[in-house]
Structure 1
Amino acid sequence: MEANIKQVSAVLNPPAPHMVGDGFRVHNFFPKGYKLKMSPFFLLDYNSKIQFSARNEPRGVGVHPHRGFETVTIAYHGAVAHQDSAGNSGIIKPGDVQWMTAASGILHKERHEEAFSKKGGPFQMVQLWVNLPAKDKMSKPKYQALCHGSIARHQLENEAGVIEVIAGEYMGTKGSASTFTPIEVYNLRLNKNGKASFSFPSDYNTAFVVIEGEIKVNDAVLAKTDQLVHFKNEGEEIQVEAIQDSVILVLSGAPIHEPIAQYGPFLMNKPEEIQQAIADYNQGKFGYLEE
């Protein structure tokens, strides 16, 4: 067993925050904050818990394009209203997940939901950029709205807590989202002293984000609220114990072994594909979305 443990490579504090628009104060754990090996996850923006004051005009981000990847937004506190040029719109509230496949190109905007904005309150979110393999980058955009009540759940033994399987599969419980490559995304909600174990292939890139609480990993490593636990690409088994009631975002996935060309909101394989994306955007090929 010892030899097969997936060892922790680092416990990382959140990098200094920056604003995305005027509604999201995020810590970019990667790729800018830390140079982590996390493919197929290209970016992790973590909006740690912050109080927003009441405001009539909702804060947020105006119309912007995406191509070549998926955005996954996971809500913990607060509410976000979004809309895209493919005609999708909705509101995500605590526990909900918005899984948007930009692929060949989409325009998107996201702002604090109106009722939340007028009332104000705690706000906490995670946004991931999930890379797509070259063969799927120009596929048709799609949208998956995963409301908290519909997300697949695995109850842990001994009242330890619950695992919400957003994508992938945990002990026979299949995730709610469809993905293009093998990805595991879970919300692990552990009660104090509760334990959970995971097994991911050694080559999968794996990290935990402690959304709330404090945990002990592999009986040895402590991590607290807002820290990211990054794992080595060796061994498979991970044990987690909650020192106090905790919420942990679990990420693991098979790396995509392809070159990456990134410019702003475009994530492609070659520089010429970036140039094409900019040209297509300027020519209005991403559709129309009112500001």
Structure 2
Amino acid sequence: MRKTIEEITSRPARPGMVGDGFRVFNFIPGANISQKRISPFLMLDFNAEFDFGPSNHIRGVDVHPHKGFETVTIAYKGSVEHYDSTGNSGIIHPGDVQWMTAGAGILHKEFHEKEFSKKGGPFEMVQLWVNLPKKDKSTPAHYQPITAAQMGKVQLPNNSGLVNVIAGTFNAVKGPAVTYSSVNLFDIKLNKGGEVTTNISKEHNTALLVVNGSIEVNGEKAAEHSFVLFNNDGEEITIKATENAVVLLLSGEPINEPIASYGPFVMNTQEEIQEAILEFQSGKYGILE
């Protein structure tokens, strides 16, 4: 049985700025898409392709804390350099993913990579926040670097395109990301006229973002930069590209626990939020210059 579509949302009218390096359109949470409705996903920011221009000033977001969830940054165009208070650092290039588990608390900063910043050029990224179950919110902070080459690869028949499996399982091919709840995350690249079909549990909350191009999904048209939310009814999803297209398909088993959030902290109660703030203020998350 096919999944039916609950809603197709167009790109918000205006972007917002995160620091001075990320010009994002926010889809989760949205006007009709609450964090509870799309659990375990807490946030989706989409930096649609934008050229910031060459600069000797390196744009980005300076030191800030996180606790209680994971941040997942997917690079489509441009390069991002990152550092955290556990000593991890690195650069993600187009096709790579930065999967950071904030867990019990971490300090983090991310910027346009230095050489990319000097040259300028197209910049396109997605950042997801993925909630952690209560039992895992105190796990030590850590980081999974996932390069494009490490991902599961599914070459589609009839020159339809390619699926990069970041997390979960796509048509029996597994992705490398280790997750704390059941999550699927697929980077799908379709040639014009290309088609792909996959099955995702009806128990999962499921959505897709049309990063580039335009598609038909389960018989309905979805334009570039639109967000498709599926009902929790069927399992089959069929995507056909009406032009060359890039699609991010995400699904996850809901975490049926209370959500208390304040800025970069996501816990289960307001008391835990206050504790997280005090921990940050007392320096418990380490030092990052």
Tell me which interval the TM-score lies in, with the shorter structure as reference length.
over 0.9
Shift of 1:203: 2.0
1:156 is matched with 156
Specify which of 25, 28, 40 is matched with residue 27 of structure 1: 25
1:239 is matched with 238
Amino-acid identity (%): 52
Q: Residues of 2 paired with 1:224 and 1:113: CA distance? A: 31
Shift of 1:35: 2.4
Shift of 1:13: 1.0
The alignment of Structure 1 onto Structure 2 pairs a total of residues equal to 286
Q: Residues of 2 paired with 1:192 and 1:108: CA distance? A: 39
2:178 is matched with 178
Q: After superposition, what is the alpha-carbon deviation per residue over 1:88-123, rounded to whole angstroms, capped at 9, x for unaligned?
A: 000111100000000000000000000010001111
1:227 is matched with 226
Q: Residues of 2 paired with 1:243 and 1:151: CA distance? A: 26
SS in 2 for 1:280: helix
2:254 is matched with 255
Paired AA for residue 159 in structure 2: E
Q: After superposition, what is the alpha-carbon deviation per residue over 1:48-72, rounded to whole angstroms, capped at 9, x for unaligned?
A: 1111111001100000000000000
Matches within 5 A, 1:1-291: 4-15=1-12, 16-36=14-34, 37-218=37-218, 220-290=219-289
SS in 2 for 1:158: coil
Q: After superposition, what is the alpha-carbon deviation per residue over 1:20-77, rounded to whole angstroms, capped at 9, x for unaligned?
A: 0000011110114542421001100111111111100110000000000000000011
SS in 2 for 1:118: helix
Q: Residues of 1 paired with 2:33 and 2:159: CA distance? A: 37
SS in 1 for 2:273: helix
Q: Residues of 1 paired with 2:32 and 2:118: CA distance? A: 36
Structure 1 runs (4+) greater than 4 angstroms displaced? none
Taking structure 1 as the reference length, what is the TM-score of the superposition? Answer: 0.96
Paired AA for residue 10 in structure 2: N
Q: 1:142 to 1:112 in 2, by over 3 A?
A: same
Paired AA for residue 16 in structure 2: H
Q: Residues of 1 paired with 2:201 and 2:175: CA distance? A: 18
Structure 1 unaligned segments of length 5 or more: list them.
Answer: none
Paired AA for residue 5 in structure 1: R
Q: 1:33 to 1:20 in 2, by over 3 A?
A: farther
CA RMSD of aligned residues (A): 0.9
Paired AA for residue 264 in structure 1: G
Q: Residues of 1 paired with 2:30 and 2:215: CA distance? A: 26
Taking structure 2 as the reference length, what is the TM-score of the superposition? Answer: 0.97
* Contact 2:77/2:124 (8 A) holds in 1: yes
